[in-house]
Structure 1
């Protein structure tokens, strides 16, 4: 018989009963206050940088720029090409296929192959948030190697990348000037910059501030987990609650903590290589902890998309925690001692898989903005060559 965990107040201490479920394992149920010191709900509102405050006009300008392939060297790739709302603001591929590609998601063919999986844009507005809800949007590590520190910085990266947007016909040194020249020839963009900034000047800084403003509005902060943590105890099942407690107590939350389920730190966890030469991230195979929100629609997983399912991800972590150095699931270029202590201390077992995955799915929230503009000011195909 399935029983829900109960709490007793004894001598000022909260005592938890074990919960017994059909999974054939027991896990202690933590109190709400204990859980909220480790993982918790996202806030209702987004913080905007003091040097890039929100306005409707800037948001609309950013949306047009995000969807307009005029920002790419060959005018065939837009930001949305690899971060599309129908694919959870990712692209559903192991590695993004940029310049020269045609189609979207698994149907995309050709194009320059990047070396990393495209992370979702959803909730990047909250990157850097701590367990108390505090964060500085200008000190928010972006990209798998944390090489950018804000959405404004991040937005400026892909147009410079030969594989992602620039192509090889225009140099990195000249691409931004050419983009600005293109935009200055389009009356609608000049009007939109005037409305957003008070004059018609088009600059690199203004372009990427507008895109960042639009991206900060792509949020999903009302998942069933958020509802549960905000007091609706019917929002999650007993099975999912058990998975949440297992997630914390086997060690997943040592790195995947806070409202975004990330500590935003760089870790070496032993993900196998699937590119040559090997991608060592920020060095020594260090990659930033990703969010775990909306996993159901943002696979494949890891920095190189090597795992297609959440079950594969669970198996990888179990292998690492068991110190199974001979397993092909672990990067052969790393000794076990080189992995982060947090990953080596994992106590994950396959009996936990179903409950933890069930819990992870409570972090899904599909209420983010999915609107697609009918046209963009350049007159180019909306989103680039994605049809």
Structure 2
């Protein structure tokens, strides 16, 4: 086990300015992103905030990816279908209690349009794959339709057909009925039903015709068009490359001394950059880091356990058990709770735990944030973590060499992570529309300012 001494921090403070350029990523440039049609992005903006894409027309994309909460939702595990309100104030609808609950923390949306993001979700179940007819590897396999502009566009197709997120409880609306029957793609499938809803709204039909020439010539709106517009909006709205760290990489600014010490540790002895590498501070790979298991687990309907085996459920490779994709750290100060299931609500504690998961687990005290009225005890959300055999298996999967950090070193890394906060990206560029073409209510308050 490596032990970083307090003296190392003092050395870092004195020598941070000498950090080798080769240790740091190159500055982000326009070449890291694909060009975006702003009219397409404005169309996607309306779709992002319109509840019409949910089975019961009561949940929009922003319900779980809200600017107020750093494009996440401010809780460990949200309530999708069957919930009322936003963020920590969201609570179960007594008239429509959820049958299934969301199993993982809502990820942030920053920089997902960058070319290097070719894998989506914590387990990577959607991935660019040129060998496939659709150009994608997804749970749909050969049934996956073509016509997506990017892997991000394809990703948007799946929350709308997830019962616990947007589709709704089984048999309570036209979308949830066909989802329960396993009819997702093809005529009369869930995606087709949602596209038909959009086609039936004159305001959308007009806007799609203005953006897509083929639709102007008479081709019906397909769900791939909806997905492409949503992706264009996300790419524009939450592109994040104007933080203090970006300015530092471009030699346009310096960082405070403590943040520089944290940078030195991050790219040096603490070895954070061994996974959080590149311009967006992620290697986009999968690692088992011993995170506490919280919630219902990522299981099949016939399973009764509350485990989440991560990447293994996709790859079937035993080496991937309990491994999850490295998240980008852009705006990380604003995206908590942290971890694949949001088991950490204190970022400093998360830094310490992440550096040495075995020691962190021994000292861990549950600090998850639950929606209003959510009883983790009654729901047995800690069942897997409280099982000695399961906890041992989770921690035994960790391969990273542990690093012990002093309080001063944790503070320094925390200060460095603060330099990844991008006020422009947090605020967004197009903002929240006052109304959407469906006429359904836009339930999102005004966006956060960056102060």
Instruction: Quote the residue 2:87 is aligned against.
Output: 105
Query: Does residue 403 of structure 2 align to residue 357 of structure 1?
Result: no
Compute the displacement of 1:335 (Å).
Answer: 6.2
Stretches of structure 1 that go unaligned for 5 or more consecutive residues are 1-19, 129-136
The CA distance in 1 between the partners of 2:445 and 2:56, in whole Å, is 11
Equivalent positions of 1:50-199 (< 5 A) are 54-110=36-92, 112=98, 113-126=101-114, 128=116, 140-149=118-127, 150-168=151-169, 169=172, 170=176, 171-172=178-179, 173=183, 174-198=189-213, 199=215
| Separation (CA, whole Å) in 2 of partners of 1:209 and 1:125 | 11
- Deviating more after overlay: 243-252 vs 299-308: 243-252
- Residues in 2 aligned to 1:142 and 1:308: alpha-carbon distance in whole angstroms: 23
Say if 1:320 and 1:344, in contact at 8 Å, map to a contact too. Answer: no
Matched, 1:338 2:323: no
Instruction: Please tell me whether the aligned partners of residues 280 and 329 of structure 2 are also in contact (alpha carbons under 8 angstroms).
Output: yes
Contact 1:73–1:165, Cα closer than 8 Å, also in 2: yes
Deviation, 1:29, is 3.7
| Deviation (angstroms), 1:43 | 2.1
Partners of 2:275 and 2:234 lie apart in 1 by 25
Alpha-carbon distance change, 61 to 255 in structure 1, aligned in 2, over 3 angstroms = same
User: Do the aligned partners of residues 336 and 88 (structure 1) sit closer, same or farther apart at CA in structure 2, a change above 3 Å counting?
Assistant: closer
**SS, match of residue 379 in structure 1:** coil
**In the TM superposition, what is the alpha-carbon distance from 1:271 to its structure 2 partner?**
0.4
Q: Do the aligned residues in 1 keep the contact of 2:311 with 2:322 (CA within 8 Å)?
A: yes
- Residue 278 of structure 1 pairs with residue 278 of structure 2: no
Matching of residue 209 in structure 1 with residue 269 in structure 2: no
- Distance apart, 1:263 and its partner CA: 0.4
- Note the C-alpha offset of 1:115: 0.6
Say whether the 8 Å CA contact 2:358–2:395 is kept in structure 1. no
Deviations, residues 304-324 of structure 1 (Å, cap 9, x unaligned): 0000011120221243275x7
Secondary structure of the residue aligned to 1:334 is helix
Q: In 1, distance between residues paired with 2:348 and 2:53? A: 38
How many angstroms apart in 2 are the aligned matches of 1:233 and 1:30?
Answer: 14
Aligned CA-pair RMSD: 2.7
Q: 1:321 to 1:279 in 2, by over 3 A?
A: closer
Deviations 1:129-179 (A, max 9, x none): xxxxxxxx6xx1111111123201211110010011001222322321221
Distance 1:110 1:36, change over 3 A: farther
Q: Is the 8 A contact 2:352 2:404 kept in 1?
A: no
SS at match of 2:240: coil
- Aligned residue for 2:437, secondary structure, equals coil
Deviation per CA, 1:282-332: give whole Å up to 9, x if none: 22111000011111211000000000011120221243275x775557971
Asked if 2 retains the 8 angstrom alpha-carbon contact of 1:127 and 1:141, the reply is no
Candidates 309, 331, 335, aligned match of 2:346: 309
1:242 to 250, 258, 261: 261
Of the three residues 254, 258, 265, the one matched with 2:278 is 258
- Contact conserved, 1:40 with 1:226, CA < 8 A, in 2? no
1:95 shift after superposition:
0.9
Q: Is the CA contact 1:321–1:346 (under 8 Å) kept in the aligned structure 2?
A: no
Q: Does 1:34 find its partner at 2:20?
A: yes
**1:126 counterpart SS class:** coil
Q: For the residues of structure 2 that align with 1:325 and 1:194, how far apart are their CA atoms?
A: 55
- Asked if the contact 2:291/2:394 (under 8 Å) is kept, the reply is no
- Distance in 1, matches of 2:235 and 2:11, equals 40
Q: Give TM-score scaled by structure 1 length.
A: 0.83
Distance in 1, Cα, partners of 2:288 & 2:64:
26
8 Å Cα contact 2:73/2:87 also seen in 1:
yes
Q: How many pairs align?
A: 349
